A and B are shown apart, each in its own frame.
Chain A
């Protein structure tokens, strides 16, 4: 087990939502966000935290959910996408290339430079082995040593949290946008209730 710092890019954030982010439940999954009454049926959580749902989340995010549809996976997923970056082996140049978390998140947050967004910095607990049914442990989808199934999206460096990333684990958010030919980040807004992972051991940066 270790603590993993991550970044999440959010495009066109609603200002009310952003203002309440640090006093809310935190970053919540699409399933929770899409619930009309804003509540989550706790008993159903265990039904959704399985390998099939994780595969759909990673590889078919915009497809109709075959089990919990007719909504699309983005509105039924119990997972929260975060990026911690990834390294690819580029054999054509005999070099390893880092795909940094802040780059991946910036492209998501700005829709590849088309709009304004925010980068949210947070930490989660992850494991070196898959633990899909365990709510408190995020899945290291980027790590081919533990998750070995092929995914075209592996280089997004995804770490999939489950149900929520509690507000106390959100460090700050930072506006990001493309101005001319530069990605520019604005002043960070820090979470006054942030709880540092410092007392824990095995803390890993994002790339």
Chain B
């Protein structure tokens, strides 16, 4: 079967190099500093000042998410591991997007669960909440993280607090669609099932890849501009039925269905990698990415 990377027109070698560069930057961006003068030289008041810690942490988290997006188009096991590394960095930066990544990867984190419960029970009126939560997208990601993780009821309550008119993530999914998906998930006690959300995401990801091919050859660290869009792919993995729940279907005929098949195959691999994540995280990144390092 054609790889998802070649299907969307990526040069696989470039994508591997980009992954390595972004991981390296995420792991070392704290060390890039303006070179201070030797002690014997008086420091000028006009020298650059270092960026604040939060900014550096958030930048590292986003670089790692960008690396995960690149890798997901090539090797889902590596992509999932890098998504998990990104979640840790987002958590360090205090951004609720970490809750979404962790929930989507089937991991729970007491800190984010407690925060979700507090918000669901007490609303946003509490004074000790991270400032980012007042941005409705971040609030939606907190709710989505709980919904995909072990607290779907809490997640649904938080999602109900966000503006119904908003759209979430790189595929701009209408919030109503996400709420419906969570409601069905809770009611049917199913972990995953076919849904309108899945069909929406497949279509949106396909459209996004067409647009990406029109972009100039310029590579940024943002995870929705390189490789596969991290948030959409992880959400799709939950929205598509697992292999055991899928009916046998006749072979697809048009390009869109072929792309849907490729995405289904990618999400199957992501599912397997997610289930084996506790084992994978014991492998150092240098070993995981050994072949790509050359």
Contact = CB atoms under 8 A, between A and B. Distances in A.
A181 B216 contact: no
Nearest to A62: B217
Interface in B55-88: 55, 58-59, 62-63
Contacts of A183: 24-25, 28-29, 31-32
A153 B286 contact: no
Chain A interface residue number, banded: 35 or more
A103 B132 CA distance: 25
Interface in A135-182: 152-153, 155, 171-172, 174, 178, 180-182
B58 A114 contact: no
A33 interface: no
A90 B21 CA distance: 21
A206 B21 contact: no
A83 to B, nearest CB: 12
Contacts of B34: 5, 121, 205
Interface in A46-102: 88, 90-95, 97-100, 102
Which of B18, B48, B170, B220 counts the most A-chain CB atoms under 10 A from its CB? B48
A178 B21 contact: yes
A97 B48 contact: no
Interface string B104-136: 000000000000000000000000000010011
A178 B24 contact: yes
Interface residues of B, number: 52
A93 B51 contact: no
Nearest to A156: B218
B181 interface: no
Nearest to B55: A98
Interface stretch (A10-18, A35-43, A126-134, A190-198): A190-198
Contacts of A90: 222
B35 interface: yes
Contacts of A26: none
A100 B59 contact: yes
Contacts of B37: 190
A122 B138 CA distance: 38
Contacts of B135: 93-95
A91 B219 CA distance: 19
A207 interface: yes
A122 to B, nearest CB: 11
Contacts of A205: 34, 48-49
Given A112-B21, A178-B20, A98 B59 contact: yes
B169 interface: yes
A151 to B, nearest CB: 10
A97 B132 contact: no
Contact of A95 (B27, B58, B285, B289): B58
A130 to B, nearest CB: 23
Which of B51, B138, B218, B289 counts the most A-chain CB atoms under 10 A from its CB? B51
A205 B231 CA distance: 33
A5 B28 CA distance: 22
Contacts of B224: 92
A27 interface: no
B46 A196 contact: yes
Given A123-B46, A196-B44, 7 more contacts: A93-B135, A94-B132, A100-B32, A113-B21, A178-B24, A181-B286, A205-B48
Interface of A: 3, 5, 88, 90-95, 97-100, 102-103, 106-107, 110, 112-114, 121, 123, 152-153, 155, 171-172, 174, 178, 180-185, 188, 190, 196-198, 200, 203, 205-207
21 contacts: A5-B48, A91-B137, A92-B170, A93-B97, A93-B135, A93-B141, A95-B135, A97-B59, A98-B51, A107-B21, A110-B21, A174-B35, A178-B20, A180-B293, A182-B31, A183-B24, A184-B28, A185-B32, A190-B37, A196-B44, A205-B34
